[in-house]
Structure 1
Amino acid sequence: MRKIRIIEHMSLDGVIQAPGAPDEDGDYAHGGWAMPFSDPAVGEAIEAVYGQSFDLLIGRRTYDIFGSYWPKRRGPLADSLNGATKFVATHGARSLDWGPAEALGADIVAGIRRVKATEGPDLVTWGSSTLTPVLVEQDLADEIVLLVAPVLLGAGKRFFREGFGARELRLVGIERAGSGVIISRYQPAGPLRTGSYDRPVD
């Protein structure tokens, strides 16, 4: 069975929309907000998430953004992304020209479970603001890596959206980049526990 790893650039107030460029997601006012905080430690964290071999699990919009960018680039990460199989959450009939690629089908969750159960390299989800919450809510994500920049955006698509199911995560790694980005790695830790000031939590 494959593992699924999520990586997200995120603001302090939970926004993950358009971190990479001003025109990355339509007319979002703060597009490109993560780029001033790029540094070697952030790049190394991203490369570590991908590892030596991986496939991509991404939404249609992220697929289109990546497909217009990475084929024009060269280097180890570009070569790995271009060569990876892309499993795409899409309902449209548009072709998947940036291959190798495969649509997950009409039932996205069933499609993800099918791919996760197969033999092959781990699956990495980067971006895809509508797909990542589904992976966590459906207990499909094995690891979440958050690259939290020291910015407050006030509005935008959020990873932990309203109505997100309560649960706990286990912190398994943390690093501070020189730019101020906090790189945190989490794994699922089961249902949410509660307690009170006058009664310790078991």
Structure 2
Amino acid sequence: MRKLNSYTFLSLNGYYKDLNEDTSWHQHGEEEAKFSETSLEAENTLLFGRTTYEMMNSFWPTPMAAEMFPKVAQGMNSAKKIVFSNTLKEAEWENTSIISGNIIEQITKLKQTEGSDMTILGSGSIVAQFSDAGLIDTYQIMIDPVALPSGHTLFNGIKATLNLKLIDSKVFGSGVILLTYEKQ
């Protein structure tokens, strides 16, 4: 059975993006890039909502990404990717497929198949939906030392209390803290 993990970065006040969809406040320095490189070595299938997919697709396949973060860009581009969307008809980014319709049902089935584990990157509305359905096994939350004036919270709209157990933590030199939780 495949595991489903979530990886999201948050501001100190709990926002994963501001009201204009901006995430440029996230600290992604050399140490965080090394962490991303190591994470991509697991060869998990990467999952995105449409908005996050479009943001990632606008950066990682570019020459700028290859110059700034060569190993992360290579890993992101070569990884198998799934985007959840009822509006996208075609995925431009290599190794990407689209899932539409009842995504809860489809991921529940996909978790039962053989294959690599899956990691949701960002995609707060997807995280909230999958959390409510009890589908996420592990949450990695990277907290940046910044407070935003407004934004979107990660678990906005969940219908039930989500109890988590801290299983690991890491402090980066930049002040970024990575917390890893599993559901109880």
Distance 2:28 2:93 in 1: 26
What is the letter of the counterpart of residue 129 of structure 2? Answer: V
Q: 1:57 aligns with which of 41, 47, 59?
A: 47
Cα 1:152–1:46 shift into 2, 3 Å? same
* TM alignment of 1:173-188, pairs within 5 A: 173-188=168-183
Deviation at 1:39, TM superposition (A): 3.2
Identity %: 26
Deviation at 1:45, TM superposition (A): 3.3
Bigger radius of gyration = 1
Aligned to 1:13: 13
Higher relative contact order (CA 8 A, sep 6+): 2
Distance 2:28 2:71 in 1: 18
* TM alignment of 1:21-60, pairs within 5 A: 27=20, 31-34=23-26, 37-60=27-50
Distance 2:86 2:135 in 1: 20
* TM alignment of 1:27-176, pairs within 5 A: 27=20, 31-34=23-26, 37-72=27-62, 73-74=65-66, 75-176=70-171
Deviation at 1:183, TM superposition (A): 0.9
1:15-74 deviation line (CA, Å, top 9, x unaligned): 0015xxxxxx7x45x65221xx33343233333443431211111111111112111243
Superposition RMSD in Å: 2.1
Query: TM-score, normalised on structure 1?
Result: 0.79
Cα 1:50–1:31 shift into 2, 3 Å? closer
Distance 2:79 2:179 in 1: 25
SS in 1 for 2:60: helix
What is the letter of the counterpart of residue 17 of structure 2? Answer: Q
Q: Would the aligned equivalents of 1:7 and 1:49 in 2 still touch at CA under 8 Å?
A: no
The aligned length equals 179
In the alignment, structure 2 segments of 5+ residues that lack a partner are none
Runs of 4+ in 1 over 2 A off after TM superposition: 37-52, 73-77
In the alignment, structure 1 segments of 5+ residues that lack a partner are 19-24, 190-202
Q: Would the aligned equivalents of 1:39 and 1:177 in 2 still touch at CA under 8 Å?
A: no
